[in-house]
Amino acid sequence: MPSTRAVRAETTEYTKDRILRVAAELFMRQGYSGTSVREIGQRAGISQSALYHHIQSKAHLLKALHQQFIVEMIDRLETVVDTDRSAPEKLRDIVGVVMSIIESHQPEVTVFLREQHALPPAMRRSIVRQRDRVDQLVDRVIRDGMAAGELRSDVDVRLIRLGILGMCNWAYQWFRSGERFSSEEIAAAFGVIAIEGIVEPEPRGR
Amino acid sequence: MPSTRAVRAETTEYTKDRILRVAAELFMRQGYSGTSVREIGQRAGISQSALYHHIQSKAHLLKALHQQFIVEMIDRLETVVDTDRSAPEKLRDIVGVVMSIIESHQPEVTVFLREQHALPPAMRRSIVRQRDRVDQLVDRVIRDGMAAGELRSDVDVRLIRLGILGMCNWAYQWFRSGERFSSEEIAAAFGVIAIEGIVEPEPRGR
């Protein structure tokens, strides 16, 4: 039998998940600034005091929604970067990771991308650090690929990263899981559209 | 000398522009649902009754912000599509048009992309028709390019369009006019990243 403490920890986790789910749903429907913490508590069936036990403020909720996908994304991108694959292959894998995260965390991603500008500066900074980590990982793949002669080096590294990630990120606007294309099909197409153009063709003097 | 009616029409235009500028600024800073029509009027220095003479509701304001860039975008895209250039060249021109619109209408584009989900369904439908027009224009270029053997035809037309436009649209999140890259430099890089990969290489049997 699980200990009382384990049960309590599990209940706490469950309650926090429920609060986050309700928050994502309300932020999605009526906007971050149009939703009160009181409303989130009521909808989640939790008293105000219990709610504040789990979250410190509405901004913390938005940050927690970001955590739900960024931690997994960084973790999976680090795994991709650490493989022995070529730079074009790694970039295709990166596209696959981002599309799969957008698929599995659609409400959190949507709400976060719409509403991140509403976060207080200090909180935004900690989030920017995580996004910088994503950027560094992708930039490293592009730079290594250029150095190895696998990628064209006449296009700016940052614009390549912004282009590839932008193509994927924008999918939060139109991609719905279970509709016409799977995230794998989209990733495969985007791999052609965004990556083939920057791959150095084999013949060019190597 | 201009007629009284012309002066009045000009003043009305000026007042409406001012209301739209204030609305874009407030929606940008505090969100659409966090901004009241009263606040917009106060900030624009216009009485409530005068304000309602110019706009019917807050949703109409958001729609008007969309009009400010979508009409120009459709117009310029139609011009691109009607030229005799090749499909890859037209796609590069399309990227150029979208980036230049994002540059010249940054606040309106940003606010619209963040807040469009807040529009009432009937209003959203009329906006969807305009966006459909953009999609049709781009799809036509891609289809014609495939038929002419200028573009790879093993990637879905819709995913190519979503990829190319997504890469550009996402720039509303990071592109600031006057910073490191000009919209022309970005368009040139995106032309390579997003389009070279789908161009049929000359040698392949033609």
Band (pLDDT 50/70/90 cuts) for residue B39 is: very high
Query: What's the average model confidence in pLDDT over B31-40?
Result: 89
Residues B62/B32, Cβ–Cβ less than 8 Å: yes
Say if the Cβ atoms of A194 and B192 lie within 8 Å. Answer: no
Q: Which of B174, B193, B197 sits opposite A160 (nearest CB)?
A: B193
pLDDT of residue B17: 87
* pLDDT, tens digit (0-9, with 9 covering 90-100), for A83-95: 999 999 999 999 9
B90 Cβ neighbours under 8 A, 6+ residues apart: B80, B81, B83, B141, B145
The whole-angstrom separation of Cα B175 and Cα B162 is 19
Q: Which amino acid is at B81?
A: V
**CA gap B155, A196 in Å, rounded:** 12
Mean pLDDT of the residues in chain B: 89
Q: Does A186 touch chain B (CB under 8 A)?
A: yes
pLDDT at B105 over 80: yes
Per-residue pLDDT, averaged over A110-130, amounts to 88
Chain B positions in Cβ-Cβ contact with residue A156 (cut-off 8 Å) = 181, 185, 189
Top pLDDT among B34 and A148 is at A148
Residues of chain B in contact with residue A168, where contact means CB-CB under 8 angstroms, are 166
CA atoms of B117 and B101, how far apart (whole Å): 21
Mean pLDDT on B18-38: 89
Position A173 pLDDT exceeds 80: yes
The encoded tokens of residue B19 equal 């209301």
Q: Is the pLDDT of residue A204 over 50?
A: no
State residue B48's pLDDT score.
84
Which sign does the torsion angle of CA B169, B151, A150, A195 carry?
A: positive
| Per-residue DSSP letter, B172 | G
| Per-residue pLDDT reduced to its tens digit, B144-164 | 999 999 999 999 999 999 999
Record the pTM: 0.87
* Residue whose tokens read 């105000």: A48
What residues does CATH 1.10.10.60 cover in chain A? 1-55
Q: Kindly state the average pLDDT of the residues A53-58.
A: 86
**CB-nearest partner of B189 from A28, A32, A159:** A159
Contact B198 A197 (CB under 8 A): yes
Specify the residue for token string 């910088």.
A132
Q: Which CATH architecture has domain A1-55?
A: Orthogonal Bundle (1.10)
The partner residue sitting opposite A30, judged by closest CB among B33, B195, B197, is B33
B81/A contact by beta carbon, under 8 A: no
Per-residue model confidence as pLDDT tens digits over B59-71: 999 999 999 999 9
B174/A162 CB distance under 8 A: yes
Instruction: Return the pLDDT at A52.
Output: 84
Q: Categorize the per-residue pLDDT at A6 as very low, low, confident or very high, splitting at 50, 70 and 90.
A: low
Q: Do B193 and A196 touch (CB under 8 A)?
A: no
- Reported ipTM: the value is 0.86
**Polymer length of chain B:** 206
How many Cβ atoms sit within 10 Å of the Cβ of residue A127? Answer: 17
Q: Does B187 touch chain A (CB under 8 A)?
A: no
Binary contact (B159, A117; C-beta < 8 A): no
Q: How confident is the model at residue A116 (pLDDT cuts 50, 70, 90)?
A: confident
Cα(first)–Cα(last) distance of chain A, in Å? 64
C-alpha–C-alpha distance, residues B183 and B189, integer Å: 10
Nearest by CB to B167, which of A163, A181, A185? A163
pLDDT of residue B117: 83
State pLDDT tens for residues B158-191: 999 999 999 999 999 899 888 889 999 999 999 9
**What are the residue ranges of CATH 1.10.357.10 in chain B?**
58-195
Confidence of residue B100 (pLDDT cuts 50, 70, 90): very high
CATH number given to A58-195: 1.10.357.10
Looking at chain A, which residue has its C-alpha nearest residue B175? A162
